[in-house]
A = this chain, B = another copy of it.
Amino acid sequence: MLNVPQFPHGHVSLYSRIRDELRHGIVSGRYLPHDRMPSESQLMQQYSVSRITVRQALGDLEKEQLIFKVPGKGSYVSRPKPFQELGRLQGFAEAMATQGHETYNHVVSIATLAASDVVATRLQLAPAEPVCELRRVRYLNREPVSLDVTYVHSRIGTLLAREDLASRDIFLILENDYGIALGHADLAIDAVLADAATAALLQVDTGAPILRIERLTHTHDGQPLDFEYLYCRADNFQYRLRIARG
């Protein structure tokens, strides 16, 4: 028996199609956490492919930590906390999209106001100079995960006001559309209790533990560009990073 024709033009490999369909079944909720996935034999029959093909699809999903396997039992949907790599300077949607999650930003408010002392210091502005304040609630798989309060120079703010802030990352907009090269970011991390307003936006109880990340992002030539407070729900999301000895 001969092997299958190799996708000559647009279409992709069999295993990647199976992998994508199964992943959609997971993120869409058709397979719930701790559900058993169809066994390899079932998938072989369902898609009329060999076991190698099925295993490659499941292996990819296992690598993404969407499922885990138990020898002798089967594959199960895992519920790992989605995480964002701190070790790379990237936006939220950018980070999540690579892991098969659905993201959406709800713009709570966008306004120009006088910089507070802290904000003016961080962005190296004169006190009370006008800055743009952007408040957004980030949703991951339809659950709110963080309230981001962003401060940028009012000049940048007027650019951003015209953009699609609901689905695109600020970093990507600045980099791709406006050619602003990003450099490094300084972070400080602590934990606070949710106040009533924040709790409502994040759909948690007032007084719930909230991870607060202060982030000051610089352009490639070292100018401060963007100062943010991220108030992150700690129960459905994790920040991760990897550091090395040196």
Contacts and interface: CB of A to CB of B under 8 A. Distances in A.
A182 B243 CA distance: 11
Interface residues of A, number: 43
A99 interface: no
Contact of A191 (B182, B191, B240, B241): B191
A244 B184 contact: yes
Interface string A202-246: 000001111110000000100000000000101101111111111
Nearest to A209: B191
Interface string A72-105: 0000000001111011111000000000000000
Secondary structure at chain A's binding surface: helix, strand, loop or mixed? strand
A63 interface: yes
B243 A89 contact: yes
Contact of A88 (B211, B212, B246): B246
A208 B191 CA distance: 9
A187 interface: yes
Given A81-B244, A88-B246, A243-B86, A209 B187 contact: no
B183 A242 contact: no
B187 A211 contact: no
Given A210-B209, A241-B83, A246 B89 contact: yes
Interface of A: 63, 81-84, 86-90, 181-193, 207-212, 220, 232, 234-235, 237-246
6 contacts: A81-B242, A83-B188, A184-B245, A185-B244, A190-B237, A193-B209
